[in-house]
Structure 1
């Protein structure tokens, strides 16, 4: 039987950019319902090319086939605060078995810092060389634990890395629970909300491990 691991953060009112308010209650209205308000790039989320004007493709226009596929999980916990993740961090056995259309997920352990300043201000980043490698080798999705693939406090860096990747790679940010995976090769499914004209969207992301 396959093992399914949820890689999605819980959306709570502690999150900057998200709120959940009571709209209806059983006692007063006969049912429970909420009003949800969220920034399009908070929590576990996905980016669309229009996010950095790479193209006019919005989240609702990305083919759903780009949200599902084989993914290699790379342990880069050694990188640490503000570290750069490079092509050299990809093990040789993964490089040998990688084929066009595979995805990459980088395990940094960074989700343990959610909701504290370090999570945003000291995040490990994707290097320019790795971003170019992903495009050149037709990586389908790239997944990271931090809230961004690049330093959000450095507009030049965050723009450059996103502009490279969003030429052809689906970006997933804000992953968690990667330590629960027992295999370095999984089936990755990342489904954003279908928001018309959306620059990004929260997503439910799961990994399926074949037993």
Structure 2
């Protein structure tokens, strides 16, 4: 048996950086169609190394094998507004099980803040020490609920954390529905839109739990 959970935010006109407008109607044109406008880092999205000039690798050049893998769900709901996430927040039993190529999903419940000023301006974020730890452990993907892994109002911090992680870790930002997972180990699939030269792209992200 499998439990499949969609970790993707629904794109609405209330999400900053996204708009959907009617382009065609069945009454006038014979079919329904929309014009969609995306900021490349809005909603649930993924970052490419070129986003912070870590390398010239763009979103369309990242191997699809980097978008699939085992992920550990780390319960960080106790991390509050502007909290700093460190390696010590990873439970010891999970640290012993993590191997090269595993991914992390950081569960902070921050998606509940969507459409509030706190969502962007007071987010819990990854510390420099934790970013380095992820790189050293060869973590494949790291997924977070806030719109960024670091304080977007602090250019030095947001640059430093992204530049560390993007040397080897695929970043997924803007997750939701983590509370619907029933275990702390899942198969994670995160597929960004394949945009040539993309610095990032909206993505559909799902988690698959397997049961005997």
Aligned to 1:135: 135
* Structure 1 residue runs without a partner (length 5+): none
Question: Where does residue 123 of structure 2 map in the other structure?
Answer: 123
Query: What is the alpha-carbon distance in structure 1 between the residues aligned to residue 28 and residue 93 of structure 2?
Result: 60
- Which residue pairs with 1:159 in the alignment? 159
Scaled by the length of structure 1, the TM-score of the pair is: 1.00
Residue 87 (1) aligns with residue 84 (2): no
Residues 81-130 of structure 1: per-residue CA shift (max 9 Å, x gap): 00001100100111111100000110000000111100000000001000
For 1:1-211, what aligned pairs fall within 5 Å after superposition?
A: 1-211=1-211
Q: Could you tell me how far 1:165 is from its partner in structure 2?
A: 0.0
How many residue pairs align between the two structures? 211
| Alignment deviations for residues 177-206 of structure 1 (CA, whole Å, 9 cap, x no partner) | 000000000000000000000000000000
Cα RMSD of the aligned pairs, angstroms, is 0.4
| Stretches of 4+ aligned residues off by more than 6 angstroms | none
**Aligned partner of residue 70 in structure 1, secondary structure:** strand
Aligned mates of 2:24, 2:79 — CA distance in 1: 46
TM-score (normalizing by structure 2): 0.99
Structure 2 residue runs of 5 or longer lacking an equivalent are: none
